[in-house]
Amino acid sequence: MKRLLGLLFLLAVVVTYPANAQDSYNINKINASITAIKHRAFNAPDRISTNKYQLTQYLIKPFKNDYDKLRVIAYWIASHIAYDNYKYDNGKINVKEMKVKYDILQAKAGICTDFAELFAQMADIANIKKVEIVKGYVLKNVRILKKYYRQNEMPHTAHAWNKITLNGRQFFVDTTYMSANRIGAGRKYKSSLKHKLELQKRARTDEKFSQKIDEFYFDFSPREEIKRNQQLHLLNKYVH
């Protein structure tokens, strides 16, 4: 009888304790994974930063699953590429004055389409195929795909980001919104020459970009964004 009671007690411990222990293990594992991803993304060598193939292989090397690989790619882009306010102004690309054509990795700058294309290209190099570039509009606190607008109703706040299908689940990544880095914010270049000189300066510099990235915009849905931005509007902390 004592032996039976002992076995029952042992079984109860095995059933209850490991569940809590496993939860704790999973939480620690997730935290460690994010820490490792940030360290890898933020400290990638400058010498490979202009070669998307070498860069991608370096970033994804320690990670086994596609989700982590996508995250480290997104974190690198957000912490190493600046949004170019001169290239896109008042809802349109400055075609008339924009005489400077550049590669986003060489210039360390680009607009939303450049960000989205780079993310998709690096995902493809990592052999992650279901990464699409989607285009639409971000209006106050709502994000709408381009297909839901008629041509004569399209607003000027056009935007591009990425849609991922992974393990049967769809989610969005917006590396432009993740990045806190800007070129020309708060001022306007009067000539393409000034813009060209600014890009050349950035290409030569070893300055560290801001690593205060907005992690919300890795793996989000438009519905989640609406809820988030409504709350931020209420707090008077968010303006598009």
Per the DSSP assignment, residues forming a β-bridge with 218 are 173
Q: What's residue 87's pLDDT? A: 73
Residues 11-49 pLDDT 10s: 333 333 334 443 443 445 455 589 999 999 999 998 999
Q: How many CB atoms within 10 Å of residue 17? A: 10
pTM of this structure: 0.75
DSSP state, residue 118 = H
Residues 153-171 pLDDT 10s: 555 567 899 999 998 999 9
Three-state SS sequence of 215-235: HHHEEECHHHHHHHHHHHHHC
Sheet holding 109-110, edge to edge: 109-110, 82-84, 182-183
Q: What's residue 218's pLDDT? A: 96
Integer Cα distance of 146 and 126 in angstroms: 28
Where do the structural domains in the chain lie, given as residue ranges?
A: 44-234
CATH code for the part of the protein at 44-234:
3.10.620
Phi, psi of 136 (to 5 degrees): -175, -145
Instruction: Output the CA–CA distances (angstroms, integers) from residue 132 to 28, 122, 127, 153, in the order listed.
Output: 32, 12, 13, 24
- Tokens 């360390």 locate to 108
Q: Name the token pair of 120.
A: 């998709």
Q: What's residue 19's pLDDT? A: 40
Low-confidence ranges of the chain (pLDDT < 70): 1-32, 88-101, 139-142, 144-157, 184-197, 200-210, 231-240
Integer Cα distance of 151 and 139 in angstroms: 16
Are 166 and 132 a contacting pair, CB within 8 Å?
no
* DSSP assignment of 32-93: HHHHHHHHHHHT--GGGTT-HHHHHHHHHTT--SHHHHHHHHHHHHHHH-EEETTTEETTEE
Q: What's residue 123's pLDDT? A: 98
Q: Which long-range contacts (CB under 8 A, 24 or more apart) does 26-34 make?
A: 33/68, 34/71
Instruction: Output the CA–CA distances (angstroms, integers) from residue 103 to 91, 108, 161, 217, in the order listed.
Output: 21, 8, 18, 24
